[in-house]
């Protein structure tokens, strides 16, 4: 087997410049999004203390999925994205569908993040034009992605550090308030606030079930480490360490933060429209709490946008390699900096369309709908990745000495069934039904067109010129 760990530059010109420090913080940054800082109050209000169970279950499922992805990437660290294994083990058509689906999903989520960034900037500068902020931010992050992968790694490292610092400070401040039995407007800070009057389904089982897809999407992005592998210095050393730390990170940064929040404020007393971090810091006497958390969520959104641009560039490059159409030929080149520059620039241009679409009243609702559909499509891609992992296990390429998914015979079907259950649960939520149907329509339509084009080509009907 080729010793890819020793290679500093890949055969296609991409470079292995990401270190263990970069990948560890990228993994952590991908796990912690704006959902925790802004949306945790709403999740807690809907589900009560049982939200801890939701986070714990989903944390375990995502950890197991990452172990499956880690096993695939460990076996072949030269792949630019974990989705390449779908092509390898489920067939070219399935892989082509997954690549386009994931890329489009990344583009639409990035559009939403760009819109969010401008709103957070306007917190301080309300007179600044939205389109100016978005253009400047997108241009800056595109430059970060074009110069070198190491610069991207450094940027993500410090973005993630800001998020981690905010959570750690909140946990320390919160624990101090609990141990001092701090008086609050609704009582005293105490862990007893979590268990007092506990009911599993305080707002009905439907709210509990609806919390799973809501929290599921807050974990979205954890798979990002499966995209950095081909540009990591020592993937077979770094990957196992980073992935095995995921459970601990979820325990501390998600469950730990939520436990502290509910210990300070009885869950019935939280304001669902205000960040729980703002509520805790204001209670501790930090007058500038809203401004501080706005800065944190601004960096969180910018971090997500930076990562999505990196991911979109690599996936579009993979689409170009995967496609035989001549139109994609220019995108198969790697720049001297070791970056798929044309894929990054094209993806950035697509992201810039988002704010334009969102600003048009006639299609703003359609934009929100498409963004929801693209989020749902991640579940289908995750499901296909797990099926590809099962095929790998049955193939001759399977390495029994590799970085193996634990208790595979039990955990693999468990994760697959759970993903199916989460998608089905979207139909129990009124606002989730149409996007869930849209996801199924996209899947059926894309695969149907692929089958039709293939059949026409096989029968000599297709006249489109392709580049073999």
Mean pLDDT estimate for the chain: 86
Q: With cut-offs at 50, 70 and 90, classify the pLDDT of residue 5.
A: very low
Identify whether 468 is part of a domain: no
Question: How confident is the model over 376-415, as pLDDT tens digits?
Answer: 888 999 999 999 999 999 999 999 999 999 999 999 999 9
Domain count, the chain: 1
Identify whether 440 is part of a domain: yes
Checking 115-121 for CB contacts under 8 A at 24+ apart, the result is 115/354, 115/355, 115/358, 116/34, 116/297, 116/301, 117/298, 117/301, 117/302, 117/305, 118/355, 120/294, 120/297, 120/298, 120/301, 121/298
Boundaries of domain holding 177: 14-458
Identify whether 466 is part of a domain: no
Identify whether 273 is part of a domain: yes
Question: How confident is the model over 58-90, as pLDDT tens digits?
Answer: 999 999 999 999 999 999 998 888 999 999 999
Identify whether 158 is part of a domain: yes
CATH number of the domain where residue 83 is located:
1.20.1740.10
Identify whether 32 is part of a domain: yes
Structure tokens at 394: 């049955």
Output the CA torsion 48→54→59→64 (10° steps). Answer: 170
Identify whether 9 is part of a domain: no
- Cα–Cα distance list, 185 to 263, 268, 288, 425 (Å): 13, 13, 19, 37
Identify whether 449 is part of a domain: yes
What per-residue confidence (pLDDT) applies to 460?
A: 64
């Amino acid at each position: 087997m080729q010793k890819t760990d020793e290679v500093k530059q890949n055969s296609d010109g991409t470079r292995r410049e990401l270190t263990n420090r970069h990948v560890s913080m990228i993994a952590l940054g991908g796990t912690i999004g704006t959902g925790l800082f802004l949306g945790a109050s709403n999740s807690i209000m809907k589900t009560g203390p049982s939200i801890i169970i939701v986070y714990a279950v989903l944390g375990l499922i995502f950890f197991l999925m990452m172990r499956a992805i880690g096993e695939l990437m460990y076996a072949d660290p030269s792949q630019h994205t974990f989705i390449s294994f779908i092509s390898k083990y489920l067939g070219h058509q399935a892989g082509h569908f997954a690549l386009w689906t994931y890329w489009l999903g990344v583009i639409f989520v990035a559009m939403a993040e760009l819109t969010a960034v401008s709103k957070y900037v306007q917190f301080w500068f309300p007179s600044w034009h939205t389109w100016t902020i978005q253009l400047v931010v997108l241009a800056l992050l595109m430059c970060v992605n074009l110069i070198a992968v190491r610069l991207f790694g450094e940027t993500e490292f410090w973005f993630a550090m800001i998020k981690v610092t905010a959570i750690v400070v909140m946990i320390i401040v919160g624990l101090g308030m609990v141990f001092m039995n701090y008086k609050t407007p609704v009582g005293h800070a105490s862990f007893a606030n979590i268990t007092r009057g506990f009911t599993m389904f305080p707002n009905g089982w439907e709210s509990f079930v609806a919390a799973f897809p809501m929290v599921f999407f807050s974990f979205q992005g954890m798979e990002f480490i499966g995209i950095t592998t081909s540009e990591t210095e020592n993937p077979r050393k770094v990957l196992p360490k980073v992935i095995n730390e995921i459970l601990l990170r979820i325990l501390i940064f998600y469950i730990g933060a939520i436990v502290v929040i509910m210990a300070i404020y009885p869950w019935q007393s939280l304001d669902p429209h205000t960040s729980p971090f703002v509520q805790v810091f204001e209670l501790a006497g930090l007058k500038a709490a809203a401004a501080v958390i706005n800065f944190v969520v601004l960096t969180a959104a910018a971090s997500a946008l930076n990562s999505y641009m990196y991911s979109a560039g690599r996936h579009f490059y993979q689409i170009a390699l995967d496609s035989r159409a001549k139109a994609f030929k220019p995108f198969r080149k790697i720049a001297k900096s070791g970056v798929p520059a044309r894929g990054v620039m094209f993806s950035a241009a697509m992201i810039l369309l988002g704010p334009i679409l969102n600003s048009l009243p006639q299609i703003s609702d359609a934009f929100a709908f498409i963004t929801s559909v693209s989020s749902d499509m991640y579940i289908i891609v995750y499901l296909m990745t797990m099926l590809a992992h099962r095929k790998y296990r049955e193939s001759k390429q399977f390495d029994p000495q590799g970085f193996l998914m634990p208790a595979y015979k039990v955990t693999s079907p468990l994760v697959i069934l759970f993903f199916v259950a989460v998608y089905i649960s979207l139909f129990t939520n009124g606002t989730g039904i149409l996007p869930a149907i849209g996801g199924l329509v996209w899947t059926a339509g894309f695969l149907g067109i692929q089958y039709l084009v293939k059949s026409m080509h096989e029968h000599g009907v297709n006249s489109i010129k392709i580049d073999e």
